[in-house]
Amino acid sequence: MADIIIVGAGPAGLSAAIYARRAGMETVVYEASTYGGQIINTPEVENYPAIAKISGFDFANDLYNQATNLGASVEFDNVTGITGSAEEGFTVELESGAKNTAKAVILAVGATNRHMGIDREEELTGKGVSYCATCDGAFYKGKTVAVTGGGNTAVEDAIYLAGVVQKVYLIHRRNEFRAEETLVNAAKKLENLEIITPYVIKELKGAPKLDTIVIENREDASTKELAVDGLFVAIGQEPKTAIFKDLVTLSGGYIEGGEDCKTNVKGIFVAGDVRTKKVRQLTTACADGAVAALAAIDFIKLG
């Protein structure tokens, strides 16, 4: 039996593993694909305290090495179910058919950015296509960018970028926004922010980096091209929580948990982008990992 099983080897999960091992806890991390989470797709990270600049891959690799050098076991297997209780311990079932047990579980499975699903999107990710304005906006200072989406995040991103770049296009497929009216009104007041509706992005052009987007009017199917240096996709996220819907309480697909990272189930904790919260950044994911691990340690020691 492990002391703590962590599901997910992204920044939150690996940070939790570091804190758990430093406390002497027998720690196992299960990851379905590759360690590092979404950050491995970020060419440059410039907003992590005390690290002026580092690639997302190098950051993830350093975090992985730190956790494993401390003795955390990272196993690449997909978690398919969790049963048990705080009193009897938790059983984690794996796709390989194996099982493991633990006194506490930390869910750090993350959330994936919803993609547009158009040609060359993956190819140009990190080369003009981004899913995080606050992460990558500074790279486009003085340039022209577009934001696609109609919710609060998209409008907030457009407003934020308007303070950084020369020109922002906010593109939404409907004439009306889902975002709060106050946000939309604030966006409309910005001279360097142009709202374009009802349009969708149909094509991405440019090599080796994005330089043009083709947008299509949803009412008459007419198209036009916009020269841009960057495109920020803000059409939502998809938390990886389907298998936990009968285990812990979800809200909008995210696992409910406060700043203490406790779920509604004693002995099960949540960390990172999968937790219900407003800010989802690399720093907040790592912070959640530390908080969740310390909470799990207290639970094991104090009950």
The residues annotated with a catalytic role in the active site are 132, 135-136
Residue 164 to residue 274: CA distance in whole angstroms: 29
Of residues 149, 135, 9, the one with CA closest to residue 72: 9
Q: Can you tell me the distance from the alpha carbon of 44 to that of 184, in angstroms, rounded to the nearest whole number?
A: 30
Two tokens, residue 83: 């049963």
3-state secondary structure of 103: strand
For the chain, give the number of residues: 303
If phi > 0 it is left, if psi is from -120 to 50 it is alpha, else beta; for residue 10 that is beta
Task: Enumerate the β-bridge partners of residue 104.
Answer: 4
| Sequence letter at residue 177 | F
Q: Cα(173)–Cα(46) distance, rounded to whole angstroms?
A: 32
User: Could you tell me whether strands 193-196 and 167-171 are parallel, antiparallel, or unpaired per DSSP bridges?
Assistant: parallel
Contact 35, 9 (CB under 8 A): yes
CA distances from 240 to 113, 125, 161, 237, 263 (A): 11, 21, 28, 10, 16
For residue 197 the two structure tokens come to 């509706």
Q: Is the dihedral of CA 258, 40, 101, 70 positive or negative?
A: negative
